Amino acid sequence: MSLGSEIDLAALEADPDPILAQLRADEPVAYIDALEMWFVTRWDDVAAVEADYETFRSATEPSFLARALGTNMLTLDPPEHTRVTAMIRPEFRSSGRSGSFVTEELTAMANHVLDAVEPGGFDVMTSYAQPLAAGALATVLGLDHHGASVMWSWCEGLCADIANFENDPDISKRTEVVKAELGEAIRERIAEANEGDNSAIARFVQAGATPEEIINNVRLMISGGINEPRDGIGLVTWVLLSQPELRERVTAEPSDMRRLIEEVFRVYSPVGTVTRQATRDVELGGALIKEGDLVSGVLRSINLDEAHWTNPMVIDLDRREGAHAAFALGTHRCLGEWLGRQEVKVGVERLFARFENLRLDPAAGPVELTGFEFRGPKSVNVLT
């Protein structure tokens, strides 16, 4: 019996690392019956999948993502993907709208969110990381007049249908309401866009994107570009509060915060996988993948691959083993990675600067990570 046929999804969600380690060792390309797709768990094999978009396409059939959000960059392959991202990517570089937001507004936004937390103690995830990540993306896009909590409710609504694997009609109906409301907000923003408007949405219009391209891709950004920096802020905060030697090191050498963030992204990979579909029969890691099969490159696994990293579970600020894969490796490498990293860095720095005596709340019990596809702390309760 194959390992893949025995994998239990609840166990994978609860604690994926031992299961992935066993797959890497014994069945590196495994068919997971419970998900009806292949898991590719070694670094070299995932790198090969990511490099070959002609054999492993992103425009999968069926696609939950395209159903929930409409056709967007993550459901396209080159050359269409190249055409769409050329209009959108510039605003997520340091030279675009994200850059001016980070230099001029992010620190003040973090301070403002901190002004509103409960002074004695609070949950970093819901009271700080979430409103900061939602507010940051809203501001870059030019949707900030709707407020961070509306932005968050759009994110939750969209994500519910992306994960609606049972095709529950009530969930789809609720998401339709969110999609219509958000579509209207984006359409208004497109109609207002003029020469002097520096919001990312206005710049997408100026770059020649159609309203449908803008709406579907902004939906994608809202579904992925809030949860991940939120989880990043929560994870780095938890690591600093639970590993005092790392806190001491970063306090003594603040420039090491960048290395810490990269190591936390590597060890905890908030986005677990990338999903592709084989366009032909292909052999990979000793397995025969058939045309049409879905193939999941498991980023969480390759970021801990013993053949690629020395002592992979250790957060090592002196590691010099190249870039990790938490933002993926290929054509669809994260559009928002520069912005996301800045949100985590400034977010964590502001939090620790405001509360020098910050510590985990012992009454709340240990911090628990949940999820497989998206994995982060449920809550990080702190005392000030």
Q: Which spans of this chain sit near ligand HEM (rule: CB under 6 A)?
A: 73-74, 85, 92, 137, 220-221, 224-225, 228-229, 232, 265, 270-271, 274, 299, 326-328, 332, 334-336, 339-340
- The one-letter amino acid at 311: N
Least separation in angstroms between CB 73 and ligand HEM: 4
| Of 121 and 229, CB closest to ligand HEM | 229
- Helix (H) / strand (E) element for 204: namely helix 200-206
Residue 255, class by beta-carbon neighbours within 10 Å (0-12 exposed, 13-18 middle, 19+ buried)?
Answer: exposed
Q: Shortest distance, CB of residue 180 to ligand HEM, whole angstroms?
A: 21
* Cβ atoms of 161 and 171 closer than 8 Å: yes
Q: How far apart are CA 18 and CA 16, in angstroms?
A: 6
CB of 317 to ligand HEM, least distance (A): 19
Q: Give the number of other CB atoms < 10 A from CB of residue 104.
A: 9
Q: Least distance from C-beta 368 to ligand HEM, angstroms? A: 19
Cis peptide, bond prior to residue 270, ω within 30 of zero = no
Nearer to ligand HEM, 159 or 220 (CB): 220
Return the residue matching tokens 């459901």. Answer: 75
Of 48 and 73, nearer to ligand HEM (C-beta) is 73
Q: What is d(CA 35, CA 336) in angstroms, rounded to the nearest whole number? A: 28
Direct distance between the N- and C-terminal alpha carbons of the chain, in angstroms, rounded to an integer: 52
Nearer to ligand HEM, 222 or 367 (CB): 222
Q: Which position's Cβ is nearest ligand HEM? A: 336
Write the single-letter amino acid at 18: P
Give the shortest CB-120-to-ligand HEM separation in angstroms.
29
Shortest distance in whole angstroms from residue 371 CB to ligand HEM: 13
CB-nearer residue toward ligand HEM: 124 or 274: 274
Q: Which is nearer to ligand HEM, 22 or 258 (CB)?
A: 258
